[in-house]
Amino acid sequence: MTTKYVFVTGGVVSSLGKGIAAASLAAILESRGLRVTMLKLDPYINVDPGTMSPFQHGEVFVTEDGAETDLDLGHYERFISTRMRKVNNFTTGQIYESVLRKERRGDYQGKTVQVIPHITNEIQDFIARGAKAAYNGEADVAIVEIGGTVGDIESLPFLEAIRQMSLRLGRNNTALVHLTLVPFIPSAGELKTKPTQHSVQKLREIGLYPDALLCRADREIPDEERAKISLFSNVPLDAVISVKDAETIYEIPAMLHSQGLDNLVCDALSLSPPPADLTMWDNLVHALKNPEQAVRIAMVGKYVELTESYKSLSEALTHAGIHTRTDVQIEYIDSEDIEKSGTDVLDGFDAILVPGGFGKRGTEGKIQAIRYARENKIPYLGICLGMQLAVVEFARHVAGLGGANSTEF
């Protein structure tokens, strides 16, 4: 069977959780027996996120073939069984780099190289190549998340590319899911649908028509508001799905399934798989919400202003907590604060974790935290720089090498 595509876009604001929504849909489809893969398209001009500041972009996710990719690929792997590779994530920078290399080789035979068709064709080629990387090219569905926000100039070539791709592949081979925000205005005491209406209008101007709307809000969206969104967005009422804030991201697959998102997508793609079985997800959420014990873990780092800088670690600890029926309470502590104020802030923790990092800033605070853990016999885990600094701390305070340090600094 030819691979079918589900494109996931976002509107109004960024950081609404497109990656979680896309991964949740993928999990439901996989539970229905479909072979699913996922791609993330990032509109920034960096070639990859490997050299981007964790403050701006969060932690990179390293794939099994060694690529430094967007952290959403970590969500993909946590939600479905498909392993991500380098081809599952690409950026505007990679697209332009590839097109310019072809132009220098003479592949375009002297033609004027333009955004349309050359950039948009390259994007489509990258999407097709990424979709073929799983299941020996025989994935049933490829879910493609388009980074950025509809209306931003950066994402326009990607949106144009998926419009062309949808036209070329024909009906029942592509579907579009749009994630948007329905904000609650406290002073008015009501939810506002206008941002969603405008976001869908922007999509329609481009030539894209959503098959389903995922409406994010801090509460359940009443049927009256859903009907208004349906009317002004020209999307059927049953395709306007309320996605309220959840206690854990692992509740989202059941939330979307209960409102029929997978059925909408399967209908749009003309697929008739068996019913979904989300027992595994139900058990996981039950274990997460009903712990038998609790632990407090101090994560001492220097990128703690953006906790997604340590996403893989927090998720790994959460998963360990699920399996051991433990409520893992992670508290992020800035190592520079320890340098200024001492280690009293570490009192009362069951364990201390020092993750990786770059540069000299904050390292002495991490070393103080490591010494505190050793002297007070608190379980300690050092990862990357955290392990290296554990050696430095031991050399200084146990082996008598007072000047011990790392050539990295």
Q: Are residues 260 and 316 in the same domain?
A: no
Choosing from 240, 262, 282, the residue where a domain stops is 282
Whole-structure pTM over 0.95, yes or no?
no
Query: What CATH number does residue 43 fall under?
Result: 3.40.50.300
Give the span between the Cα atoms of 392 and 338, in whole angstroms. 17
Mean pLDDT, the chain, whole residue set = 93
Q: Are residues 330 and 259 in the same domain?
A: no
Query: Is residue 409, in this structure, part of any structural domain at all?
Result: no
pLDDT reported for residue 83:
94
pLDDT reported for residue 1:
67
Give the span between the Cα atoms of 130 and 142, in whole angstroms. 9
Q: Are residues 222 and 257 in the same domain?
A: yes
Q: Are residues 322 and 249 in the same domain?
A: no
Q: Are residues 299 and 255 in the same domain?
A: no
Query: What CATH number does residue 379 fall under?
Result: 3.40.50.880
Query: Is residue 373, in this structure, part of any structural domain at all?
Result: yes
Query: Is residue 125, in this structure, part of any structural domain at all?
Result: yes
What is the domain count for the chain?
2
Exposure on the CB side of residue 60, measured as CA atoms within 13 A = 16
pLDDT by residue for the chain (409 residues), tens only, comes to 689 999 999 998 887 889 999 999 999 999 999 999 999 999 999 888 888 877 677 788 889 998 889 888 999 999 999 999 999 999 999 999 999 999 999 999 989 999 999 999 999 999 999 999 888 888 999 999 999 999 899 999 999 999 999 999 998 999 999 999 999 999 888 899 999 999 999 999 999 999 999 999 999 999 999 999 999 999 999 999 999 999 999 999 999 999 999 999 999 999 999 999 999 999 999 999 999 999 999 999 988 887 778 888 998 999 999 999 999 999 999 999 999 999 999 999 999 999 988 888 889 999 999 999 999 999 999 999 999 999 999 999 999 988 889 888 7
Query: Is residue 408, in this structure, part of any structural domain at all?
Result: no
Q: Are residues 174 and 105 in the same domain?
A: yes
Choosing from 282, 312, 333, the residue where a domain stops is 282
Strand partners, 174: 5
Choosing from 237, 252, 282, the residue where a domain stops is 282
Q: Are residues 118 and 213 in the same domain?
A: yes
Identify the domain containing residue 231 by its residue range.
Answer: 4-282
Q: Are residues 252 and 371 in the same domain?
A: no
Q: Are residues 377 and 300 in the same domain?
A: yes
Query: Is residue 247, in this structure, part of any structural domain at all?
Result: yes
Exposure on the CB side of residue 249, measured as CA atoms within 13 A = 19
Q: Are residues 341 and 274 in the same domain?
A: no
Query: Is residue 298, in this structure, part of any structural domain at all?
Result: yes
Q: Are residues 257 and 305 in the same domain?
A: no
The CA angle 184-28-42, to the nearest 5 degrees, is 65
Query: Is residue 217, in this structure, part of any structural domain at all?
Result: yes
Per residue, what are the HEC states of the chain? CCCEEEEEEECCCCCCCHHHHHHHHHHHHHHCCCCEEEEEEECCCCCCHHHCCHHHHCCCEECCCCCEECCHHHHHHHHCCCCCCHHHEEEHHHHHHHHHHHHHHCCCCCCCCCHHHHHHHHHHHHHHHHHHCCHHHCCCEEEEEECCCCCCHHHHHHHHHHHHHHHHHCCCCEEEEEEEECCEECCCCEECCHHHHHHHHHHHHHCCCCCEEEEEECCCCCHHHHHHHHHHHCCCHHHEEEEECCCCHHHHHHHHHHCCHHHHHHHHCCCCCCCCCCHHHHHHHHHHHCCCEEEEEEEEECCCCCHHHHHHHHHHHHHHHHHCCEEEEEEEEEHHHHHHHCCHHHCCCCEEEECCCCCCCCHHHHHHHHHHHHHCCCCEEECCHHHHHHHHHHHHHCCCCCCCCCCCC
Q: Are residues 273 and 302 in the same domain?
A: no
Query: Is residue 110, in this structure, part of any structural domain at all?
Result: yes
